[in-house]
Amino acid sequence: NAATAFGIAQSIVTRLTKLKNVKVTAWVTSQRFQGNISSPEDLRAAASSLGVERLIIGTIRTVGDRVHVDAGLIDSTATQQLWAEQLDANVAEIFALQSKIALGCAAILKGGLTGEEETLVAKPPSERADAYEFYIKGSMKMQLGTQEDDNMALALFDRSVVLDPGLADAFVGRGAVFGNRFFYG
């Protein structure tokens, strides 16, 4: 579903930003290309527009409580696959899937990882999948931009915080809603 795809993509980007000397385009900047890369020309155009040499691409399918992910790291200049993985798991194991994808991409981007980098990239954003799911749904709602959506996003972020008070992203989401209210009335 869309929340699962949104969550996986956002988590991978967040994890990769923890690597020194690796520049990562913000997830929100790259999401406009979601579902629009179907040829080598599209790949090069997206990379050029984002000012990057490598793209993480993939598909996510859910059936019942199962998730199937095909993910890859592509060199956009030569349209070569640098890394690829097919992963199947139970939805409850979504953080493990995110870790595997982030670690695979990170190892290629860095040419290998130190133990500290591996720990940073592999660490899930929350120990509670339900708290993270509320955070992701809140993030999706907030991007829709209406006052009603912001109110719903705030309620979702609040629920996330109750379930996992250590999930800093949910507090950031709450702050973003209040920032929207301040700047846009």
Q: What is the pLDDT of residues 29-46, one digit of tens each?
A: 777 787 778 888 888 888
Mean pLDDT of 98-122: 85
| pLDDT given for residue 31 in this prediction | 76
Dump pLDDT digits (tens) for 118-140.
888 888 778 888 888 889 888 88
Arithmetic mean of pLDDT over the chain? 85
Host H or E run for residue 4: helix 2-16
* Banded model confidence at residue 171, pLDDT cuts 50, 70, 90: very high
Q: Which residues of 139-150 are buried (b: 16+ CB within 10 A; e: fewer)?
A: bbbbeeeeeebb
For residue 53, give both structure tokens.
Answer: 């040499």
* Banded model confidence at residue 155, pLDDT cuts 50, 70, 90: very high
Mean pLDDT of 72-99: 84
Tally Cβ neighbours within 10 Å of residue 58: 18
Give the separation between CA 124 and CA 95, rounded to whole angstroms.
6
Give the separation between CA 118 and CA 26, rounded to whole angstroms.
21
Residue 165 has pLDDT above 90, yes or no: yes
Residue 185 has pLDDT above 80, yes or no: no
**Percent of the chain residues past pLDDT 90, beyond the cut:** 11
Residue 159 has pLDDT above 90, yes or no: yes
**Percent of the chain residues past pLDDT 70, beyond the cut:** 98
Tally Cβ neighbours within 10 Å of residue 108: 14
Its pTM stands at 0.71
